[in-house]
C-alpha cells in the first residue's frame, strides 16, 4: 500500500468525497485534498478515472514516501 495525496479544484461535497471511502477529504480554499492509503496503481487509476468521469479537475497527485 502507498499513501497518496490528490488535490482537486473546488470544494467537493460530503456526498462526492464519500464515494472514496479509503480517502480522507480536507477542504482548503478553492480546493479539496483527498489523501489516504490505496492498494496499488490500479486503485489510484480507479480514483483518478472516477474523478475525471465526475468532471472534477485534478490539480496534483503525489505519492508520499513511507516514513522510516
Please tell me the pTM assigned to this model: 0.86
Q: Which domain holds residue 30?
A: 2-64
**Positions in the chain short of pLDDT 70:** 68
Alpha helices in 1-68 (DSSP H): 14-17, 41-53
Comparing CA positions, the residue from 34, 33, 32, 44 lying closest to residue 2 is: 44
Task: Please give the pLDDT value at position 66.
Answer: 77
Task: Please give the pLDDT value at position 68.
Answer: 64
Q: What is the CATH number of the domain that holds 18?
A: 3.30.70
Q: Which residues contact 59 (CB under 8 A, 6 or more apart)?
A: 7, 8, 9, 31
Task: Please give the pLDDT value at position 20.
Answer: 94
Task: Please give the pLDDT value at position 26.
Answer: 96
C-alpha cell, 8: 482537486
Task: Please give the pLDDT value at position 23.
Answer: 96
Q: CA distances (Å), 26 to each of 41, 42, 58, 59, in order?
A: 22, 23, 15, 15
Task: Please give the pLDDT value at position 41.
Answer: 94
Q: How many domains does the chain have?
A: 1
Amino acid at each position: 500500500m502507498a499513501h497518496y495525496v490528490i488535490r482537486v479544484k473546488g470544494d467537493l461535497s460530503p456526498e462526492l468525497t464519500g464515494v472514496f471511502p479509503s480517502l480522507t477529504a480536507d477542504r482548503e480554499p478553492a480546493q479539496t485534498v483527498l489523501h489516504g492509503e490505496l492498494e496499488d496503481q490500479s486503485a489510484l487509476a480507479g480514483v483518478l478515472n472516477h474523478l475525471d468521469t465526475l468532471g472534477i479537475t485534478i490539480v496534483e497527485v503525489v505519492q508520499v514516501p513511507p516514513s522510516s
